[in-house]
Each structure stands twice: as C-alpha cells, then as structure tokens.
Structure 1
Amino acid sequence: MTVAAMWEARAAAGRGPELAAWVREFALPAVRGAAGLERLELLSATGERVLLITWWTGEPVPVAEPPADLLGRPVHRWSFTSEHVE
C-alpha cells in the first residue's frame, strides 16, 4: 500500500521564499532516508503557498512545523491511499 502525505503551508506576507528555504533546509532532511519513503516533491504556488508531497510504503513520517513567524495560517496536512497508478 502506498500513502501520499501532503503538507501545505501558506507563508506570512512576503515570506514565501523563506518558508520554501526552511522546508529545503529542515523538513526535507528530516524525512529523507526515512524507512518507507519512496519519493518526495516540493512545490510552490501563488499566494505564497508551499506544498510538500511525500509517497510512502507504510506509515508516513510527519513533517515538522515551521517557525510561527513564517506562517500566514496553520499548516494543513492530508494523507491519501493510492487507489490506481498507470
């Protein structure tokens, strides 16, 4: 079974690049090499949003909370179970 864990944060006004840098410096190293990690992808979007999607066999490792001053609102997290892949 593959689980996709999505972690999405909206940066405080003007802090999107800093939030993305925090994810690259702290969040990615914390999950890289964890048992069951198959793949990870870091994305950004308008509205100073940063999205980290990780794919796991088994239970996902949680992504840490960034410093509160980087956030425009609380982090959102979702997990999905893979149903079909082509």
Structure 2
Amino acid sequence: MTVALMWEARAVPDRGEELLTWARAQELPASPLRRETFRAPQDRVLVITWWDAPYDADLPELPEPDGELITRAVHRWRFESVAAD
C-alpha cells in the first residue's frame, strides 16, 4: 500500500523563502519512496512524502519549525493511494 503524508506550513510574511529552505533541509530518519516540496502564495510550503507502508504505520514526519518562522501550527494529513494514472 502507498501512503502519502502531507505537511503544510505558512511562514510569517516575507519569510516564505526561509521556510522553504528550512523544509528542504530537514532530513528524515528513513527514506520515503518519493518526496516533493511545493510553495504557494501567502508564503506557504507543502511537503508530500510517499511511503510503502500500511495506512496506520509509524512513519517519520517533518517537525514543527521554530514558532517565530510560522504564523500557525503545521497542518498534517495522511492519505492512502487508491489509483495512479
């Protein structure tokens, strides 16, 4: 089964590039099948990791950045793949 973990944070205004750099530098204790990093307006950063694991597996996730870098707590979601084209 493929599980995707999504991690999304919003930087303090004008610190989006710093948050992006921080997120890209975070190493996980295990390697996912794939890891992709995105940015969006309003200084938001999204990281998606894909894992070959059961849905409820204990998987490594990116930590919370320093509170002075973000405007709110990180949002996290977990999805199970049902189809790929």
Give per-residue Cα distances to partners, 1:40-66, cap 9 Å, x unaligned.
Answer: 000000010000000001133121111
- Paired residues, number: 81
Q: Which runs of 4+ in 1 moved over 3 A?
A: none
Identical residues among aligned pairs (%): 46
| 1:49 is aligned to 2:44 | yes
Q: Structure 2: how far apart are the matches of 1:62 and 1:69? A: 20
Separation of aligned partners in 1, 2:67 and 2:23: 13
User: What CA deviation, in whole Å up to 9, does each residue of 1:1-24 have, x standing for no partner?
Assistant: 000000000001111011011112
Which amino acid in structure 2 is aligned with residue 51 of structure 1?
L
1:30: Cα distance to partner? Answer: 2.3
Q: Taking structure 1 as the reference length, what is the TM-score of the superposition? A: 0.87
Which residue is 1:12 aligned to? 12
State yes or no: 1:30 paired with 2:25.
no
Unmatched 5+ stretches in structure 1: none
For structure 2, list consecutive stretches of 5 or more residues without a partner in the other structure: none
Q: What is the alpha-carbon distance in structure 1 between the residues aligned to residue 74 and residue 64 of structure 2?
A: 7
